[in-house]
Structure 1
Amino acid sequence: MTLSEKTYRVGGRDLFVAEAGDGPAVLLLHGGGPGASGMSNYVRNIEPLSAHYRVIVPDLPGYGRSSKSLDHSDPFGDLATAVRGLLDELGLRSAHLVGNSYGGSAALRLALETPDRVGRLVLMGPGGVGTTRSLPTPGLQKLLNYYRGDGPSKAKLEEFIRTYLVFDGGTVPEEAIEQRYQASIDPEVVADPPLRRPSSLKTLWRMDFTRDPRLSQLRTPTLAIWGARDKVNRPAGGHTLARTMPNCDLLLVANTGHWVQWERAEGFNATLRTFLGTTA
């Protein structure tokens, strides 16, 4: 696999992008956990998918090698704006969007605002599905509290990853945890964490897609993939999307947590090839 790296200037921010392969454009949007990045989130998917697609993997604003600023009054909207601006910089009228957790929220918001920019949509345990209708899950609580209290620590991150992010914590290599921990303590990130509790009730409601009337009108072909043992975003969210969106299929994956694309990589990659097909 030949991997290229480039930083694009988008709306006053720098977005780092890794890219591999040729064919229909597929953007892989990572989750919002401490120390997350595009490459670490999709390390088991980029090479297999690049044999069939132009795979584009950005670090979202606030993460990795991208600028650390994010509009916390409307985080999903700001992320969607950044991704849409990246499409413009890449000269892409549309692309398939694949989003995990926070990245899924960005992808869904972009599709709601500008459906013509999205070919097909794959959402893995996205945030913002019914979040104002129940208390946060234990896993989401851990995420939101990572930079609070006594601040970030490797022990806190390891507990989150091994206990809440995946179904079988013993499968996560120590070096992966160390890499994410080092990224999570970047001084710019510690000073302005990209994932935090909503600043107001208005922000909280804006971050719940089930309160957006456009959701039931979005006809973009969509596949919601959810780990049946997800402890961060409730699997019931998948049923909500499938019930609400006109063209949404649901795949519930047994014995899998919040990181389906990592825990069940081979099946995930094959499923994407089937769902996305070979044309944009």
Structure 2
Amino acid sequence: MSVGESTAEQRLVRVGARDIAVTERGAGEAVVLLHGGGPGASGMSNYARNVDALAQRFRVIVPDLPGYGRSSKDIDQSDPFGDLAGAVRGLLDALGIDRAHLVGNSYGGAAALRLTLDRPDRVKRLVLMGPGGIGTTRRPPTPGLKRLLAYYGGEGPTRAKLERFIRDDLVYDGTAVPVEMIEERYQASIDPEVVANPPLRRPAGLRTLLRMDLLRDQRLSRAATPTLVLWGADDKVNRPSGGLLLAERMPRCDLYLVAGTGHWVQWERPDLFNSLTAAFLSEESE
């Protein structure tokens, strides 16, 4: 399908051999919002509380990453972060955007950071919320990450497994998550194409695991892209200590630890997230 083909406000953009579903709002400098990798995730569901606020100042571009939503479902599992980074770069090319701000949560944060390391010329500023790939070979996975990676294993996907992950692991206050959101994500998670080829799974082999540990990348210490890291102090999926590790390695990295917040800063603390992100992205780079 072509750039112009759409359903409601979402359109499919051809990027290489893939279709990537994209929603756009606003005008100004381009800001690409990259969602996390939980079951049933999509761009607009992850950023439902942020898009309109940011669109008052920016051209906000919200893709469904490959493997999710209405986008093509294939991902290179030997180098998933690199593959996703390449897909985002291809999307920028297809949209005629030379440089953009990237905002990434969890899985999307890892993709955003990888693209920043691979092609710093394409990224103006970077905002990361609890990104994946930070010290993944240093300590065993958290219980929340284990449940996330096991969702399609065992008896397969179930609504009970998804609800437990969202309410107990994804956010600090599980009672705040509406039933409708859980049901919507569950239905998306049982798409036959996704069940047959889950986009987020345990790394197959040491080489893939090492590729997915972005702290091992020597380019971090030379990364000149201005970066803001927002990390929930009560994140049960990716350890908040990852924020300090990034701040120690990246020369232009600001860190904000968000109290009483889990893995989904942009949804749990939208007013704080929107104001900090808009202010940071509006700063002039040196």
CA distances 1:175-220 after superposition (whole Å, capped 9, x unpaired): 0000000000000000000000001100000000111101111010
Alignment of 1:70 with 2:81, yes or no, is no
Kept in 2, the 8 Å contact 1:16–1:58? The answer is yes
1:96 counterpart residue number: 101
Alignment of 1:166 with 2:177, yes or no, is no
The code of the aligned residue for 1:129 comes to I
Alignment of 1:211 with 2:210, yes or no, is no
Kept in 2, the 8 Å contact 1:4–1:20? The answer is no
2:125 to 100, 120, 130: 120
Structure 2 counterpart SS, 1:26: strand
Q: Distance in 1 between matches of 2:49 and 2:42?
A: 13
2:113 counterpart residue number: 108
In the superposition, relative to structure 1, how do residues 251 and 278 fare at CA in structure 2: closer, same or farther (>3 Å)? Answer: closer
The code of the aligned residue for 2:135 comes to G
Structure 2 counterpart SS, 1:84: helix
Alignment of 1:231 with 2:242, yes or no, is no
- Structure 1 residue 278, shift from structure 2 partner: 6.7
Alignment of 1:181 with 2:191, yes or no, is no
Structure 2 counterpart SS, 1:23: coil
Structure 2 counterpart SS, 1:225: strand
1:156 counterpart residue number: 161
Alignment of 1:53-68 (within 5 A): 53-68=58-73
Q: Distance in 2 between matches of 1:273 and 1:76?
A: 26
2:13 counterpart residue number: 8
2:3 counterpart residue number: none
Of 10-19 and 269-278, deviating more is: 269-278
The code of the aligned residue for 1:15 comes to I
Give ranges in structure 2 of 5+ residues lacking alignment.
1-7
Q: Distance in 2 between matches of 1:4 and 1:179?
A: 18
CA distances 1:125-168 after superposition (whole Å, capped 9, x unpaired): 00000000000001100000000001000000000000000000
Kept in 2, the 8 Å contact 1:24–1:278? The answer is no
Kept in 2, the 8 Å contact 1:166–1:257? The answer is yes
**Structure 1-normalised TM-score?**
0.98
- Structure 1 residue 5, shift from structure 2 partner: 2.1
Q: Distance in 2 between matches of 1:54 and 1:222?
A: 19
2:86 to 74, 81, 91: 81
C-alpha RMSD of matched pairs (Å): 1.0
2:4 counterpart residue number: none
The code of the aligned residue for 1:109 comes to R
The code of the aligned residue for 1:54 comes to R
The code of the aligned residue for 1:173 comes to P
Any runs of at least 4 consecutive aligned residues in structure 1 with deviations exceeding 2 A, and if so which?
none
The count of aligned residue pairs is: 278
State, as a whole percentage, how many aligned pairs show the same letter.
68
The code of the aligned residue for 1:204 comes to L
Q: Distance in 2 between matches of 1:76 and 1:60?
A: 11
2:56 to 51, 62, 66: 51
Give ranges in structure 1 of 5+ residues lacking alignment.
none
Q: Distance in 2 between matches of 1:145 and 1:24?
A: 39
In the superposition, relative to structure 1, how do residues 237 and 130 fare at CA in structure 2: closer, same or farther (>3 Å)? Answer: same
Q: Distance in 1 between matches of 2:37 and 2:128?
A: 14
Structure 2 counterpart SS, 1:87: helix
